[in-house]
Amino acid sequence: MKKMSGGHQSRDKTPFIDSHNKRHSFSAVEMTTAAPPPPSPRPIFLGVDVGTGSARAGLFDNDGRLLGSTSCPIQIWKDGDCVEQSSTDIWLAICTAVKAACSRANISGNEVTSLGFAATCSLVAVDDDGEPVTVSWSGDARRNVIVWMDHRAVKQAERINSSNTPVLEYCGGAVSPEMEPPKLLWVQENLPESWSMAFRWMDLSDWLSYRATGDDTRSLCTTVCKWTYLGHAHMQQMNEIDSREMEALGWDDDFLEEIGLGDLVDGHHSKIGRSVAFPGHALGSGLTPDAAKELGLVAGTPVGTSLIDAHAGGVGVMESVPVADSESKEDDEEAICHRLVLVCGTSTCHMAISKNKLFIPGVWGPFWSAMVPQYWLTEGGQSATGALLDYIIENHVASPRLANKAASQSISIFELLNEILESMRQEGGLPFLAALTNDIHVLPDFHGNRSPIADPLSKGMICGLTLDTSEKQLALLYLATVQGLAYGTRHIVEHYNAHGHKIDTLLACGGLTKNSLFIQEHADITGYPIVLPRENESVLLGAAILGAVASKKYSTVREAMKALNAAGQVIYPSNDPKVRKYHDAKYRIFRDLYEQQLSHRAMMKDALS
pLDDT at residue 58 in the model:
98
Report which DSSP code applies to 171: B
Each residue of 526-566: pLDDT tens digit?
Answer: 999 999 999 989 999 999 999 999 999 999 999 999 999 99
Each residue of 579-600: pLDDT tens digit?
Answer: 999 999 999 999 999 999 999 9
How far the first Cα of the chain sits from its last, in Å, is: 43
| 444: CB partners within 8 A, 6+ apart | 382, 384, 385, 388, 460, 481, 484, 485, 488
Complete domains list, the chain, with CATH:
44-320 (3.30.420.40)
pLDDT at residue 429 in the model:
97
Report which DSSP code applies to 287: S
Each residue of 421-471: pLDDT tens digit?
Answer: 999 999 999 999 999 999 999 999 999 999 999 999 999 999 999 999 999
Each residue of 309-365: pLDDT tens digit?
Answer: 999 999 999 999 987 655 554 567 899 999 999 999 999 999 999 999 999 999 999
Confidence of residue 387 (pLDDT cuts 50, 70, 90): very high
pTM, entire model: 0.87
Residue 458 CA to residue 208 CA, distance in Å, equals 33
Each residue of 259-299: pLDDT tens digit?
Answer: 999 999 999 999 999 999 999 999 999 999 999 999 999 99
Confidence of residue 165 (pLDDT cuts 50, 70, 90): confident
Secondary structure of 490-553 in HEC code, one letter for each residue: HHHHHHHHHCCCCCCEEEEECHHHHCHHHHHHHHHHHCCCEEEECCCCHHHHHHHHHHHHHCCC
H or E element that contains 342: strand 339-344
Confidence of residue 6 (pLDDT cuts 50, 70, 90): very low
Closest among 176, 186, 188, 184 to 202, alpha carbons compared = 184
Contact 228, 252 (CB under 8 A): yes
Strands (DSSP E) found in 370-460: 376-382, 441-443
pLDDT at residue 555 in the model:
94
Residue 39 CA to residue 111 CA, distance in Å, equals 9
Distances, alpha carbon 98 to alpha carbons 265, 383, 389, in Å: 37, 29, 30
pLDDT at residue 20 in the model:
33
pLDDT at residue 467 in the model:
97
| 550: CB partners within 8 A, 6+ apart | 114, 116, 280, 281, 282, 283, 302, 303, 304, 305
Which residues does residue 570 pair with via DSSP β-bridges, in sequence order?
531
- Is the confidence at residue 31, as pLDDT, over 70? no
Three-state secondary-structure class, residue 395:
coil
Residue 247 CA to residue 293 CA, distance in Å, equals 31
Three-state secondary-structure class, residue 303:
strand
Confidence of residue 36 (pLDDT cuts 50, 70, 90): low
